Structure 1
């Protein structure tokens, strides 16, 4: 596995319109994924199924991502535009299938189809920057696309708060469907236009998965990404339940989580380009884990409304920029295997996103222990970053 040199196919000018459309498409994948999460109780009553069944409407995404991330990456490395197009069409088709019939079965079918398309979209974040942005703009492009994913999460929870009633569930799902379909049409039109980078770029050759995973930086990033994904999913899943014994109302906890995602999305746009410019990715990730651990300790020691707002804000500010920082490193480092490398990292992240919440969920009745586990996981991630400095400095701009 070799590091990438300044590509001969680098665009002379950045096509920000394509990046903006892609960011909306990335947001749509997350909106579809979480469509039912903010209205679990309402959706369960609407479909006449247990709340645990509604949980599976969201759980199919990380589960399938673990298995599909690497095949999706291989497809993108071989047929980049076709891969994105397929991901966009599957996202829109899955969203639309949920409206075929007002039943749980069709809702689940649609979520599964959309979940199959999600890796083809999200694995393409570094590739879109490489194909459509000049080298100097790629860190910002990856940051914007990554922030789009969090914006989709924010949209899901905002819509869930605005349209909470059982009779409004179809409208709620319909809005997500229209956004997904509009983003897909716009993306297909953008892909139809020739890519300025591809026209002058050598034909891609297959890079074996073994060779990609043998790269020290990629292996290390796979270990590192396990931590932020795991903590973020654990906090976002159980924050309401963990803060309830401290007298924090569920609606206030929902506002806290929404604020966390908004601040995190803003941080995703601002922080990663700065770290890339100054080549301080490792230090920034370490600082993020330290701040995250401090936020979790605050919630464990003095749970309250004030501590909830402060602790969760710190976690969002410190934790969420980790994804675009890691993806920018991959784009700079991997060259022709960027899709496969991104798939490996996303797959590792989703394993963390399932395992850490599963452990924290065992202690949902003892909030102090649950928050301390999150703090401990953040601290355990720091040794994984100790050797990151040398590989990062070896990455060519």
Structure 2
């Protein structure tokens, strides 16, 4: 017997947010104690740097496979990601040497795409359509909150590395347990039918958005009454003939994994859509600038008399502003359908802020410019991911993987470029300004395709 699902399950979002924060905590545990860690483990500072660099490197390789896994086995894939993160944090405690440390980082880095790619899927399965922009904003903000937690643990324990690793492992264990408990039952929603042109040509996309809010009760067998209760999807012969199969959810509330004859794979569905391709290319630029700025702020501002302590405070304030912005701004932007405008303005302001840092570097300029960059630029990620959730439906894990992969690739490329200019701060800041400006026309060109999407406030 069919029923209309209206209740969001925020416990799943809370569990996901904790695991998302855990991935960033493990990633950045050594960002603030590079010198102390190198001395403790008897390795170079570059070797300690690789404890963080393995994350974006493996993300670029694993983003698409993990996205495909989530599209096929959402709940099991996300739970595996949570416990792999926990396992990686635990492996670092086996022995007090660099080998165990690197092994643990690699395990956690393998888990990260399974967790971060799921930010759109967790909202699509467990939140009503009206709540999904808010859920994506909260889930993304928690990722940045994990960065703050890493900085706070570094400040609290300083060179005492073992206690820091123990606390990190305990947090990962608690986060994985909470998420696993929240995901014991399937989500009451299924991803909306994809609105991509490629998907529309397949049997899987025969149902209309209006039918996406009507799901078969998991406790009752799917039958013809489910199709009868969804007049929007039953209005066409194709939808009527496919409704029985579409309304038979698997263990996680999705359709069975068997492919419908002629149905395209999630990767082909996602990549065939020009909007997803354009969003993926666009993600390279804000990701790249943020990663480069986070990596080299202290070195670039040091010639202007900014101490490492002041630089750390600037970066911490930057991420705090980003967390607040990511939790609030995307919800407002989605309500007013102003995604393209915000993306263009945030990139323009980032360019101007980098120019200001090139012309007048200093503590005050650093605090103002970099904090406002965090406030305006970091919300670009949840804004883009919310567009992906609305656009791709059942290929959302793969599409989110494309966004994350592009972003991590941009981070590597821009960070390497800025790293080559680290002894020339003015040139480095101007390069970051140019990279941000290059993306502005692309952000503005998204206005029309975004306007054609179904509004987030409609099921």
Whole-angstrom distance in 1 between the partners of 2:141 and 2:68: 24
Question: For 1:95-141, what per-residue CA distance to the aligned partner results, in whole angstroms no more than 9, with x for missing partners?
Answer: 10000111100000000001001100000000111111111110010
Task: Tell me the residue number matched to 2:333.
Answer: 275
Alignment of 1:148 onto 2:142: yes
User: Which of 174, 178, 184 lines up with 1:182 in the alignment?
Assistant: 174
Aligned counterpart for 1:319 among listed residues 377, 384, 387: 377
Among residues 337, 344, 352, which one is paired with 1:286 in the alignment? Answer: 344
TM-score, scaled relative to structure 1: 0.95
Find the counterpart in structure 2 of residue 197 from structure 1.
189
Q: Deviations over 1:298-333 (max 9, x none)?
A: 111101111010111121111100000000000011
Pair 1:24 & 2:18 matched: yes
Q: Does structure 1 retain, via aligned residues, the 8 Å contact 2:314–2:366? A: yes
User: Displacement, 1:10?
Assistant: 7.7
1:377 matched to 2:441? The reply is: no
Equivalent residue, structure 2, for 1:219: 277
SS at match of 2:444: coil
Paired residues of 2:266 and 2:394 also in contact (CA < 8 A): no
Paired with 1:360 and 1:64, the residues of 2 have a C-alpha distance of 21
| Residues 1:99 and 2:90 aligned together | no
Q: Tell me the matched-pair count.
A: 388
Q: Which range moved further: 150-159 or 193-202?
A: 193-202
Partner of 1:5: none
Q: 1:162 aligns with which of 156, 160, 163?
A: 156
In 2, distance between residues paired with 1:242 and 1:67? 30
How far, CA to CA, are the matches of 2:292 and 2:128 in structure 1?
A: 37
- 3-state secondary structure, aligned to 1:38: coil
Q: Does 1:297 pair with 2:355?
A: yes
The CA RMSD measured in Å over matched residues stands at: 1.4
Residue 71 (structure 2) aligned to one of 65, 68, 77: 77
Which residue among 318, 321, 328 is the counterpart of 2:386?
A: 328
Counterpart secondary structure, 1:288: helix
Which of the residues 110, 116, 119 maps onto 1:122? 116
Query: 2:23, 2:85 within 8 Å by CA — same for their partners in 1?
Result: yes
In 2, are the aligned partners of 1:10 and 1:196 still within 8 Å (CA)?
A: no
Select between 9-18 and 48-57 the one with higher mean Cα deviation: 9-18
Q: TM-score, normalised by structure 2?
A: 0.83
**CA displacement 1:31-84 (0-9 Å, x = unmatched):** 001111111111101100000000010000000000100000000000100110
Asked if the contact 1:227/1:381 (under 8 Å) is kept, the reply is yes
Task: Give the 4+ runs in structure 1 shifted more than 2 A.
Answer: 8-11, 198-202, 204-208
Structure 2: tracts of 5 or more residues without a match: 191-214, 217-245, 248-254
Deviation at 1:211, TM superposition (A): 3.0
Q: Which has the higher helix share?
A: 1
Matches within 5 A, 1:220-369: 220-369=278-427
Structure with more relative contact order (C-alpha pairs < 8 Å, separation 6 or more): 1
Superimposed CA distance per residue, residues 123-173 of structure 1 (whole angstroms, 9 cap, x where no aligned partner): 0000111111111110010000000000000111111112112xx100111
CA contact (8 A) 2:13 2:123 kept: yes
**CA deviation string 1:172-229 (max 9, x = no partner):** 1111111111100111111112321156374165634233211011000011100111
Seen in structure 2, the aligned counterparts of structure 1 residues 9 and 163 have a Cα distance that, compared at 3 Å, is farther
Q: 2:46 aligns with which of 36, 52, 56?
A: 52
